[in-house]
Amino acid sequence: MPRGGWFAKRARSAQSMDSVPDGIATKCERCGAILFARDFERNLKVCSACGYHHRLTAPERIAITADEGSFQETHAGLTSQDPLAFPGYAAKLEQARASTGLNDAIVTGIAAIEGRSVVLGVADFRFIGGSMGSVVGEKIARAAEDAIERRLPLILFSASGGARMQEGLVALMQMAKTSAAIARLEQECIPFISVLTDPTTGGVFASYASLGDVVLAEPGATVGFAGRRVGNQDLGQRLPENFQTSEFQLEHGMVDRVVPRRELRPVLAKLVAFFQEGTDGR
Amino acid sequence: MAASGLDFEKQFEELERLIAELKKPEKRAEAAAQGIDLEAQVAQLEAELQRMLKKQYSLLTPWEKTLVARHKDRPYALDYIRMVFDDFLELYGDRLSGNDEAVVGGLAVLTGEPVVVIGQQKGRDLKERQRRNFGSAHPEGFRKALRLARLAQKFRKPLISLVDTPAAAADLAAEERGISEAIARNLKEFAVLKVPIVVVIIGEGGSGGALGMAIGDRVLMLEHSVYSVIPPEGCAAILWRDREKAPEAAKALNLTAQGALALGIIDEVLPEPVGGAHRDPAGAAATLKEALVRHLAALRHVPPDTLVASRLQRLRSIGFWTEA
C-alpha cells in the first residue's frame, strides 16, 4: 500500500472526510468485514463486502454532496432552550455540543450541486439521535424561507429518531411547523427533495421528510413510523424481513427511489436541473 | 402504580352509590315513616361529595390527569357530537382503500349553522374498542379526516375536530399503507385549509396520531385532557428503562392542558364539571358547545387568505431557541 499517497490524500481531503477511522483498517458495523480505511473512505463509507451504508455525520454528508468549497452555512448560531426544564436535558445538550462540535441536530446552508445552487439541510444522528426540537424545526422553517426568497430548490437529508422527547409538546409541534413550511414551498412552486438516510423514523418521517416532491432513500436505511421501543401497540404479528426499511417503503409506494450513496449526487443534480429548467432558478 | 393511580375514585364512587341508594322512593318512604329528614341528609352528603371532588380534581397530578383522560366512562367524540349538535349525518370512508372506525366524521348543525365535524373515536365496550382499534387510527382514518376537511373547504363550512387517541396505529398494516405519509399530509394540508378550524382535545392527545387531526385556528383542551409527544409509559421506558415510572415521566413531560396553555401552544382550557367530564357528560358538552359557538363566531368573518396566513404564522412561531 502506498502509504505516502494515502496520507497525502487524507491531508487533501480533510474537509471531505474528517472522521475517517484512525488506522489503516476498519470493520463493517453490519457484516464485520475488515475494510481498508482508504477503500472505505473512497467508497463513501459503504461496505464493499455487504453494501451496508454506514451513517455519515452532517459535515461528511455535506462534503460528498456539495461542490467543493460551495457550502455556506446559515443559521448556525441557533441553540435549544430547555422549555420544560426536563430532567437531564441541559447536560445532554451540552454533551452533544461538545462531542459533535455542532449546535444542534441539523446543519443548514446554501450550496451548489454540479454547479446549481440549492438550499441544503443535513441532519446529524450523533446529536441526541438527530431528534427534532425547537432548533431543528426553526432551521428547517428558515431553510424553506431561504429557498422561497432565493427561488432555489430545498434538499433535506433526514437522519432522526423523531421528535425530541425532552422538549415535550414543543417538539411535537415542530412536526406541524416543518410541514407548514413545506406547504409554503408548495404555494410558491419551489421544489423540495427529501432524502431519507439511516434512520428516519417517528415524528420526522411523519412530517416534512414524507412531504418531498421527490422522496429518495439510501439502501437499507431504517425508515418507519414507530420505533419498537416507543410503540405502545403490540407488534406481535409476523413482520416481513425488510419491515421499516427504505426497500419496504419503496415497495409500498412511500419512496420514489432507493439510491445508492455513490449515485445520490448525480441524481440530485439531475432532479435540480429538471425542476429548474424553464423557471427563474439559478 | 398504573392500576392504582385512580384509587381516589373508589371512595367517590362508593359515596355516589350511597347517595343514589338513599334517593330511591322506598328509602324515602321508609325514612318518612320513621320521621327522619332524609332529604337533608342526602343534601349534606351531596355537598360533602362535591367539596371532596372539587378539592381532589383541583390537585390532580399530571399522571392522574392522564388516567382521567383515559377513563373508561369519559365522553368520547360521538357522545359529544350527539349532545352538542342539532343534527349529525355520519359519512364514511377515505375514497382510497377503506373506512377506519377509529375516526368518525360527517355533516352537522351547530345552533343552526352547518359545520363539518371529524373526531377520533374510542370504543365503549370490548367489541367496539376492537372495531375502533382503541381509537388508534390507521392511514385510512387520517385520509378520511382529510377528505372531510376538503369537503368543508369546498362548501365553505367551518371544520371542528375532536381529538382523543392514545397514538396512531403502529402495526404492519399501518406501515404498509403509509401511516407517516398520511399524518404528514394532514399536517401540510390542514395548515392551508381555507375554512376556520377549531380543534378540541377532549381526552388523550397522543403524539403524532393526535397532531394529524389537531391543526387549527383555535386549539382548545378540556381541563383534564392531556397532550403529549410520547405516552408517559414510553418516556419512562426510554429515560429510566422502567414503564412503572410513568407518573414521573408525566410530570417531566408536563402533558396537561394547563401545561400546554402555559407553553402558548393551545388557546384555552375548557373547565370540566366538578369531578371530571365522566361524572357529568351533559355538563361537559354544554361547555364544549358554548366554546365552539364562541370561537366559530370570531372566525366566521375572517377572509380565507387572512385565516390561512395567521394559521401559518401561528405554527411558524412555535419553539424556544436562542440565537447567538
Res. B31 pLDDT band, cuts 50 70 90: confident
What is the percent of chain B where pLDDT is above 70?
Answer: 98
Residues of A in contact with B178 (CB under 8 A): 210, 252-254
Give the pLDDT of residue A227. 62
Q: How far apart are CA B138 and CA A258, in angstroms?
A: 25
CA distance B289 to B296: 11
Taking a C-beta distance cutoff of 8 angstroms, is the pair A109, A74 a contact? yes
Please give, rounded to a whole number of angstroms, the shortest distance from the CA of B45 to a CA of chain A: 41
Q: Do A243 and B172 touch (CB under 8 A)?
A: yes
Which cell goes with B177? 399503507
- CB within 8 Å of chain B, chain A residues 46-105: 75, 77-81, 83-84, 86-88
State how far Cα A270 lies from the chain centre: 19
Which residues from chain A sit within 8 angstroms of residue B62, using beta carbons?
none
Q: Cβ of B320 and A134 within 8 Å?
A: yes
Whether B178 and A165 lie within 8 Å, measured CB to CB: no
pLDDT value at position B57? 94
Domain coordinates in residue numbering, chain A? 1-54, 56-276
The predicted structure's pLDDT at residue A228: 53
Task: Tell me whether residues A235 and B170 touch, CB distance under 8 A.
Answer: yes
Residue B178 has its nearest CB partner, among A182, A232, A254, at A254
Cβ separation of B187 and A210 shorter than 8 Å? no
Under an 8 A CB cutoff, do B188 and A87 touch? no
Residues in chain A: 282
The predicted structure's pLDDT at residue A226: 84
Residue B168: is its pLDDT beyond 60? yes
Give percent of chain A above pLDDT 90.
83
pLDDT at B11: 86
Dump pLDDT digits (tens) for A206-221: 999 999 999 999 999 9
Q: How far apart are CA A38 and CA A270, in angstroms?
A: 29
pLDDT band at B5 (very low <50, low <70, confident <90, very high): low
pLDDT in tens, A128-186: 999 999 999 999 999 999 999 999 999 999 999 999 999 999 999 999 999 999 999 99
Nearest CA in chain A to B230: A165
A interface test, pick of B130, B136, B318 with most A CB neighbours within 10 Å: B318
**Interface residue of A139, A172, A201 to substitute, partner B, most B CBs within 10 Å:** A172
- The pLDDT of residue B199 is above 80: yes
Q: What pLDDT, in 10s, does the model give residues B290-314?
A: 999 999 999 999 999 999 999 999 9
Helix or strand (DSSP H, E) at B228: strand B226-228
| Euclidean distance between CA atoms A25 and A6, whole angstroms | 12
Give the closest-approach CA distance of B175 to chain A in angstroms: 7
At residue A22, the pLDDT reads: 62
The mean pLDDT of chain A is 90
Q: For B134, which residue in chain A has the nearest alpha carbon?
A: A233
What is chain B's Cα-based Rg?
A: 21
Partners of residue A106 in chain B, C-beta under 8 Å:
none
The arithmetic mean of pLDDT across residues B155-179, rounded, is: 97
Q: Which CATH architecture has domain A56-276?
A: Alpha-Beta Complex (3.90)
pLDDT in tens, A104-121: 999 999 999 999 999 999
List, for residues B241-267, the tens digit of each pLDDT value: 999 999 999 999 999 999 999 999 999
The pLDDT of B46-73, averaged and rounded, is: 95
List the single range of A226-230, B4-8, B20-24, B89-93 with lowest mean pLDDT.
A226-230
- Rounded to two decimals, the pTM is 0.93
Average pLDDT, stretch B141-164? 98
Q: Is the pLDDT of residue A10 over 50?
A: no
Q: Is the pLDDT of residue A71 over 80?
A: yes
By Cβ distance, the residue of A135, A172, A229 closest to B229 is A172
pLDDT of residue B28: 83
**Per-state percent for chain B, helix, strand, coil, to nearest 5:** 55, 15, 30
Distance (Å) from the alpha carbon of A158 to chain B's nearest alpha carbon: 14
**Minimum distance, in Å, between the CA of residue B283 and any CA atom of chain A:** 28
Cβ neighbors of A267 (< 8 A, separation 6 or more) are A216, A257, A259
Contacts of residue A79, Cβ cutoff 8 Å, sequence gap at least 6:
A93, A97, A103, A104, A135, B321, B322, B323, B324
Average of per-residue pLDDT across A255-282: 88
**Are the beta carbons of B203 and A202 closer than 8 angstroms?**
no
In chain A, which among 222-261 make CB contacts under 8 A with chain B?
Answer: 224-226, 229-233, 235, 237, 239-240, 243-244, 248, 252-254
Backbone dihedral region for residue B133 (phi beyond 0: left; psi -120 to 50: alpha; all else: beta): left
Cα–Cα distance for residue pair A174/A186, rounded to 1 Å: 18
